[in-house]
């Protein structure tokens, strides 16, 4: 899977209230890449991730996955594409409080009318260290455990690419670094593509390619 963003811009509002959240961003992401994007608050990080994952449409520009222009998909095609190809991890874990960990993980499959692959669930639960927590409700889990459940939910449909928007932002440094080790492992061992937003320089430096975004303008960070 090769992703190409070509001159994507996102403008909110108009006239005096106009905000250029993203300014002509170009980015290529190859299968198996691990990319990090750093930037101050309000610089356009979440906007970029939402556009790259088809959650939102740009004001201008194109985005292709293996040559297919995804912004030209119908809403139905786009949501099917997103469910099958993209996993998303948020800063807020966004688990449904009345469902157990296992039911939360299964949710994307239910939406797609697919059966859970129990062997795969076991494999990722073991990798994430949550096998003995699957029957618990979210409020019975620590923040780090909740985020690991959210990661399992992002992985369960075997997406090609995972987008993570400040996944360690709500975690203490110990659970944060545990979550990062796991994400890095998933990228390396399972060959997944990872696009990660972070405020943390140490986390950003775990990536193979680093970018910064300032006032909606994305630039590459040169290797030292
Ligand atoms: P970051 O994730 O880097 O903190 P965002 O991508 O959330 O930044 O926001 C970038 C800019 O776009 C900010 O100035 C923000 O206020 C603005 N913005 C984001 N979403 C909207 C929206 N739905 N309507 C209007 N302005 C928005
Ligand atoms: Mg954000």
Q: Mind listing the pLDDT tens digit for each residue in 110-149?
A: 988 999 999 999 999 999 999 999 999 999 999 999 999 9
Strand-pair partners of 11: 20
Q: Whose CA is closest to atom 22 on ligand 1?
A: 12
Which atom of ligand 1 is the closest one to the Cα of 165? 2
pLDDT reported for residue 15: 92
Which atom of ligand 1 is the closest one to the Cα of 44? 6
Q: Whose CA is closest to atom 26 on ligand 1?
A: 12
Rg (CA), the chain: 17
For a ligand 1 pocket test, name from 11, 12, 14 the mutation site with the most ligand atoms within 8 angstroms of its C-beta.
12
Q: What is the mean pLDDT of each run of 10 residues along the chain (224 residues)?
A: 94 94 97 95 96 95 96 93 93 96 95 92 94 98 96 94 95 92 91 93 94 97 78
Strand-pair partners of 211: 37, 220
Write the CB contacts of 85 (distance below 8 Å, at least 6 apart in sequence): 1, 65, 159, 160, 161
pLDDT reported for residue 66: 94
Q: Is 108 helix (H, G, I), strand (E, B) or coil?
A: helix
Quick one: tokens of 219? 């630039």
DSSP for residue 53: T
pLDDT reported for residue 224: 62
Query: Distances from the Cα of 79 to the Cαs of 1, 53, 100, 146, in angstroms?
Result: 18, 10, 25, 25
Which atom of ligand 1 is the closest one to the Cα of 216? 10
Ligand 1 geometric centre to CA of 25 (Å): 15
Between CA 175 and CA 145 the distance in angstroms is 8
Ordered domains of the chain (ranges, CATH):
33-57+83-221 (3.40.50.300)
Ligand 2 geometric centre to CA of 43 (Å): 8
Ligand 1 geometric centre to CA of 64 (Å): 23
Ligand 1 geometric centre to CA of 21 (Å): 6
Ligand 1 geometric centre to CA of 12 (Å): 8
For a ligand 1 pocket test, name from 9, 47, 215 the mutation site with the most ligand atoms within 8 angstroms of its C-beta.
47
pTM of the model: 0.94
Strand-pair partners of 29: 3
Of residues 90, 103, 92, 101, the one with CA closest to residue 53:
90
pLDDT reported for residue 198: 93
């Amino acid at each position: 899977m090769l992703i190409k963003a070509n001159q994507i811009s996102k403008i909110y509002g108009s006239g005096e209230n106009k905000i250029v959240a993203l300014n002509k961003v170009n980015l290529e992401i190859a299968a198996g890449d691990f990319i990090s994007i750093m930037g101050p608050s309000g610089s356009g990080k979440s906007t970029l991730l939402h556009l790259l994952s088809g959650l939102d449409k740009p004001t201008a520009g194109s985005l292709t996955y293996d040559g297919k222009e995804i912004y030209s998909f119908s809403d139905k095609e786009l949501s099917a594409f997103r469910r099958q190809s993209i996993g998303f991890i948020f800063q807020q874990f966004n688990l449904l409080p009345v469902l157990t960990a296992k039911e939360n993980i299964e949710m994307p499959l239910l939406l797609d009318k697919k059966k859970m692959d129990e062997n795969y669930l076991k494999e990722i639960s073991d990798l994430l260290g949550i096998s003995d927590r699957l029957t618990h409700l979210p409020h019975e889990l620590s923040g780090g455990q909740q985020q690991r459940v959210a990661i399992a939910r992002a992985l369960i449909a075997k997406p090609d690419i995972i987008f993570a928007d400040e996944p360690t932002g709500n975690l203490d440094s110990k659970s944060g670094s545990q979550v990062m080790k796991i994400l890095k492992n998933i990228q390396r061992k399972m060959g997944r593509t990872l696009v990660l937003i972070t405020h943390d320089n140490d986390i950003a430096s775990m990536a193979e390619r680093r970018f910064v975004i300032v006032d909606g303008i994305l630039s590459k960070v040169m290797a030292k």
